[in-house]
Amino acid sequence: MYGGLCFRFRDQNPEVALEGPFLFPAAVAARGGQTAMAAVAANAADMAATAVDDREPQREAVPGLESQRRQIENGRGRPLQVGESWFLVGQHWYKQWEVYVQGGDRDSSTFPGCINNAELFEDQVNWRLKKGLVEGEDYVLLPAAAWHYLVNWYGLEHGQPPIERKVVELASIHKVEVYSVELLLVQHSDMDTPHTAQFSQTDSVDLVLHTAREQFLVSPQEETRLWIKNAEGSFERLCNTRVTVLDAALKTGQVVVMETRNKDGTWPSAQPRDTSTSEEEEDFQGQPGICGLTNLGNTCFMNSALQCLSNVPQLTEYFLKNRYLEELNFCNPLGMKGEIAQAYADLVKQAWSGHHRSIVPQVFKTKVGHFASQFLGYQQHDSQELLSFLLDGLHEDLNRVKKKEYVELCDAAGRPDQEVAQEAWQNHKRRNDSVIVDTFHGLFKSTLVCPDCGNVSVTFDPFCYLSVPLPVSHKRVMEVFFVSMDPRRKPEQHRLVVPKKGKISDLCVALAKHTGISPERMMVADVFSHRFYKIYQLEESLSSILDRDDIFIYEVSGRAAIGENSREDVVLPIYLRERTPARDYNSSYYGLMLFGHPLLVSVPRDRLSWDALYHILLYRLSRYVTRPSSDDEDDGDEKDLEDKDSLPKPGHVTEGSSQDPGLEQAGPSSRVVSGSRAPVDNSPGPSHWPQRARRKHLFTLHTVNSNGTSDRSTFNEDTHAQPYIAIDWEPEMKKRYYDEVEAEGYVKHDCVGYVLKKAPVQLQECIELFTTVETLEKENPWYCPTCKQHQLATKKLDLWMLPETLIIHLKRFSYTKFSREKLDTLVEFPIRDLDFSEFVIKPQNDSARELYKYDLIAVSNHYGGLRDGHCIRCVNRWRGHCGQWHYFDDSSVSPVTENQIESKAAYVLFYQRQDVARRLQTQASSSKPPASSACGAPPKSESMDVN
């Protein structure tokens, strides 16, 4: 460093030996009584001072040895501060220096010379520290100021770099990071050519990414991400680049892979290695945004919601320009660690790359199922439910508020609405600030009035979408089958219009208008699987009958008042069964299988015998059961009727017994033989038939349980159970005398062609209904602070502030305790100039009226009902294609005209405020070169064209 100058000290006398050229500065001779040793040392310090940076203290005269010792030791004793620099000095040189300064003699032979840390390095080329160095044995640590003092005073060995290290915080303890982290940086496309880079544990992962981008010459426009290779060979994403190398658990020697996004929006790592892309697909260049989504199995609801959301210009622009990368919130406990936002961004970039006809949203589906278990499988779901989850997930993943403060919700308490609304919105923004809030959140006013004390509570609450009700009809159309007592008449199918909240008696009254039969002579039953699932009471609600139920209404004989001497009929439920041989050849048991439609038959009480019942049933079945001819006459082996001269006493045939395992399933069939509904027989009975010789019986009769699955050999009068009678047929007899085709036949009444016409509804009517005063339900009362109790208060919602993009959800599904239905009412909604100025109660001036006009940009359609699927498709207008509307049916995309948009299937509407569209158009035109006049020409950049 000093031209090969060497110093040797013998017997306390300095002697200078010259090796090579030597230039002795004049400054050495000018130091008066200083010895040659001290003069050269001072000169060396002066020369070394020129190598230090701006943080070093200015060069000054070398202080005394005692002063040097105090300055250095005082510096070593200072506490460590995170991020500050400390330097390593070899233990051997430092001990030599301590001996020198403690001796107090400048002429001492213990002079340490230039700082030499050669013993700390593995080699003289890379200057890499030796492994396993120990503080106090191999080196000492000096703060930056002490290090610069020593370099000023003694110099640094030629060619040696200073060993600077940072103070880091490890496990709440401040330590000097002696060994930096050496990472092997590689590209995904070239895993065999690593680049070694050193990082402090306090450096951010973003610095690692920046270093890798510089090393591999990645342009600023290209998007990259990092992976780390674990010891077992697996790879893990480094999603949060804001954390430190220490927090990311990166270790020396670990491989960090940088991946660059493809031009088509995909990532190389996401492409299957066992499939090859055809040249046609690779060269495909379509319109950005006109891209289908493959149905993974009942995922049309997800595809529809994604297509609609992708058509919101400001949101898609936000993702395409990578602004979301700066706002990813990985520490939000309410979020999804940024994974939903990144998965959605990948989907948007692929759809808007213009390189795909359709894409497979498998990764996005997996992410959604991971954070929302209800979407895990491949069942049918609702697009609005997914949309609600997605908007909330994107908001929390992109929330700019990293730590949410506690905000107390305050009631208006008589203050002006303007003041309360501003306070509520500011409180909302203090905890929720994201692109979702900027785009979709609005504010409505909620007014609650206590019915007892009249206390009025006014609050302002944010909303992300409006769920508006549809005007509901108070009528209901029901289809039933009417079974007449006249055996010659086939059952009739009727379509009846009844009150939606009516009773069973209303159903009978409606049927009476078509048949002329008195409602008092009707009984209503739900028939399922050839048996009575339930026999209804007249006072029961119609809501307990579902649209899918098979309802039969039977004509029975007239009723008479109960009295000791009054005549009374019994209504018996009748099942039809067929004997089938058992599969066990060693058993003589015969199985029984139900078939046909069951009957409700009126039987006079005074004729309750098996023989009389047989003839009554034979008469009721005469339309499809042939009577035996004279050739079939037989002396009659009627052992089946022996000991069965009479049925159970009618006086004990009343309400069902809980001991009968089938009664509950059959429903409340009590009182089918009660006094208030006792039938009077008007049909031709056995007494009117000509008496002939005994004939072979076509079937046998048995008392069974309500399911018809087990016989009752005896009737226990103590159970008071309703008797169910089964008609059992032998297979040969059934084949010979029973006409199955005729038995299943029925006719349609003229009313079946009746369709309840529904007048179309205007969207404005739905919004008005949304703002109508309503009374809270019993399940959701309001706690009145004045009354100190829960009250069924009246509630009114008013719109105060509308968002840039307004989502309107039409509540087509109605759910009650007994029923669910979908409303297929046609809602007429404007495509342009939807004016909300009449609905917003916030004070307006004339110039602000244009801020309440909206244009339609997307519609999510719902096809099918509650039972036959949730096939949901999307219609939206891609603004980069001259405002052309497109119909997205999963992977298929086709253009449509405006007159094809409005339909009964419209479910979720997306409206954009007109001033926002103009703003985006201005930004787009000012930020890009003049476009071609051809509408079909695809934009060359990733940004959306909002022309």
3-state secondary structure 451-464: CCCCCEEEEEEEEC
Pair 342, 439 in one domain: yes
CA atoms within 13 A on the CB side of 4: 6
Taking the C-alpha atoms of residue 315 and residue 398, their distance in angstroms, rounded to an integer, is 12
Residue 371 has a CB neighbour count (10 Å cut-off) of 15
Q: Which residue has the tokens 């919004």?
A: 767
Pair 208, 157 in one domain: no
Taking the C-alpha atoms of residue 232 and residue 280, their distance in angstroms, rounded to an integer, is 38
In contact, 900 and 861? CB cutoff 8 Å: no
β-bridge mates for residue 235, sequence order? 229
Residue-level pLDDT at 909? 95
Structure tokens at 738: 């029973």
Residues 6+ apart with CB under 8 A from 469: 766, 769, 770, 811
Listing DSSP states for 760-820 in one string gives: -EEHHHHHHHHTS-EEPPTTS-EEETTTTEEE--EEEEEEEE--SEEEEEEE-EEE-SS-E
CA distances from 434 to 147, 242, 288, 438, 512 (A): 48, 19, 25, 6, 62
Pair 794, 897 in one domain: yes
In contact, 697 and 640? CB cutoff 8 Å: yes
What is the SS3 assignment for 394?
A: helix
In contact, 725 and 575? CB cutoff 8 Å: yes
Q: Show the 3-state SS of 883-939.
A: CEEEEEECCEEEEECHHHCCCCCEEEEEEEEHHHHHHHHHHHHHHCCCCCCCCCCCC
Pair 304, 441 in one domain: yes
Residue 827, in any domain of the structure: yes
Structure tokens at 875: 């219609």
In contact, 344 and 365? CB cutoff 8 Å: no
Taking the C-alpha atoms of residue 771 and residue 83, their distance in angstroms, rounded to an integer, is 58
Containing structural domain, residue 915: 299-469+761-926
Residue 668, in any domain of the structure: no
Pair 380, 509 in one domain: no
Sign, Cα dihedral of 119, 121, 122, 124: negative
Class of residue 648 by CB neighbours under 10 A (exposed 0-12, middle 13-18, buried 19+)? middle
Pair 503, 621 in one domain: yes
Listing DSSP states for 714-733 in one string gives: S--GGG-PPPEEEEEE-HHH
Structure tokens at 1: 């460093």
Residue-level pLDDT at 592? 86
- Residue 551's CATH number: 3.10.20.90
Q: Which residue has the tokens 């007239």?
A: 558
Pair 732, 854 in one domain: no
Residue-level pLDDT at 216? 92
Residue-level pLDDT at 231? 81
Residue-level pLDDT at 638? 41
Residue 34, in any domain of the structure: no
Catalytic residue among 114, 291, 300, 508: 300
Residue-level pLDDT at 871? 57
Q: Which residue has the tokens 């031709």?
A: 684
Catalytic residue among 870, 874, 881, 886: 870
Residue-level pLDDT at 814? 73
Residue-level pLDDT at 822? 77
Residue-level pLDDT at 177? 84
β-bridge mates for residue 15, sequence order? 8
Pair 857, 752 in one domain: no
Count how many domains the chain has.
Answer: 4
Residue-level pLDDT at 535? 92
DSSP, res 98: H
Taking the C-alpha atoms of residue 97 and residue 92, their distance in angstroms, rounded to an integer, is 9
- Residue 920's CATH number: 3.90.70.10
Residue-level pLDDT at 865? 64
What is the SS3 assignment for 300?
A: helix
CA distances from 351 to 294, 435, 716, 805 (A): 12, 20, 74, 21
Q: What is the mean pLDDT of each run of 10 residues along the chain (947 residues)?
A: 41 34 32 36 41 44 87 86 90 93 82 92 87 91 93 92 87 84 91 89 90 92 91 87 88 92 88 52 78 90 92 93 93 92 94 91 92 87 91 96 86 88 93 96 94 90 94 85 92 91 91 91 92 91 88 80 50 90 56 90 82 90 83 46 42 34 31 35 40 65 86 51 84 90 90 75 92 87 88 92 95 69 86 91 75 91 65 61 79 89 91 89 66 38 36
Helix (H) or strand (E) holding 190, with range, is strand 190-199
In contact, 388 and 463? CB cutoff 8 Å: no
Structure tokens at 874: 């999307």
Query: Where is the domain boundary, 260, 289, 322?
Result: 260
Helix (H) or strand (E) holding 66, with range, is helix 65-76
Residue-level pLDDT at 544? 87
In contact, 114 and 44? CB cutoff 8 Å: yes
Residue 484, in any domain of the structure: yes
Q: For helices 300-310 and 362-371, give the axis angle rounded to 10 degrees.
A: 100
Residue 313, in any domain of the structure: yes
Pair 377, 486 in one domain: no
Instruction: Mark whether 870 is an active-site residue.
Output: yes
Class of residue 881 by CB neighbours under 10 A (exposed 0-12, middle 13-18, buried 19+)? buried
In contact, 623 and 488? CB cutoff 8 Å: yes
β-bridge mates for residue 656, sequence order? none
In contact, 862 and 872? CB cutoff 8 Å: yes
DSSP, res 826: P
Residue 889, in any domain of the structure: yes
In contact, 559 and 551? CB cutoff 8 Å: no
Task: Tell me the residue type at 324.
Answer: Y
Taking the C-alpha atoms of residue 78 and residue 27, their distance in angstroms, rounded to an integer, is 36
Residue 820 has a CB neighbour count (10 Å cut-off) of 13
Residues 6+ apart with CB under 8 A from 144: 55, 84, 85, 86, 87, 164
In contact, 602 and 485? CB cutoff 8 Å: yes
Taking the C-alpha atoms of residue 305 and residue 878, their distance in angstroms, rounded to an integer, is 15
Class of residue 602 by CB neighbours under 10 A (exposed 0-12, middle 13-18, buried 19+)? buried
β-bridge mates for residue 6, sequence order? 17
Taking the C-alpha atoms of residue 553 and residue 109, their distance in angstroms, rounded to an integer, is 123
DSSP, res 848: G
DSSP, res 488: T
Q: What number of residues does the chain have? A: 947
Taking the C-alpha atoms of residue 139 and residue 93, their distance in angstroms, rounded to an integer, is 9
Q: What is the rounded radius of gyration, in angstroms, for the C-alpha atoms of the chain?
A: 46
Class of residue 758 by CB neighbours under 10 A (exposed 0-12, middle 13-18, buried 19+)? middle
Class of residue 913 by CB neighbours under 10 A (exposed 0-12, middle 13-18, buried 19+)? buried
Pair 201, 327 in one domain: no
Query: Where is the domain boundary, 157, 177, 197?
Result: 177
Residues 6+ apart with CB under 8 A from 282: none
Residue 602, in any domain of the structure: yes
DSSP, res 929: P
Residue-level pLDDT at 555? 92
Burial 665-688 (b: 16+ CB within 10 A, else e): ebbebbbbbbeebbbbbebeebee
Task: Tell me the residue type at 526.
Answer: D
Taking the C-alpha atoms of residue 706 and residue 724, their distance in angstroms, rounded to an integer, is 6
Task: Tell me the residue type at 814.
Answer: S
Pair 738, 796 in one domain: no
Listing DSSP states for 121-149 in one string gives: BS-SSS-PBPTT--BTTTEEEEEHHHHHH
Task: Tell me the residue type at 505.
Answer: S
Residue 769, in any domain of the structure: yes
CA distances from 318 to 225, 305, 314, 756 (A): 18, 18, 6, 48
- Residue 69's CATH number: 3.30.2230.10
Taking the C-alpha atoms of residue 543 and residue 585, their distance in angstroms, rounded to an integer, is 49
CA distances from 640 to 52, 581, 636 (A): 121, 19, 10
Structure tokens at 42: 């001072």
Task: Tell me the residue type at 792.
Answer: L
Pair 753, 765 in one domain: no
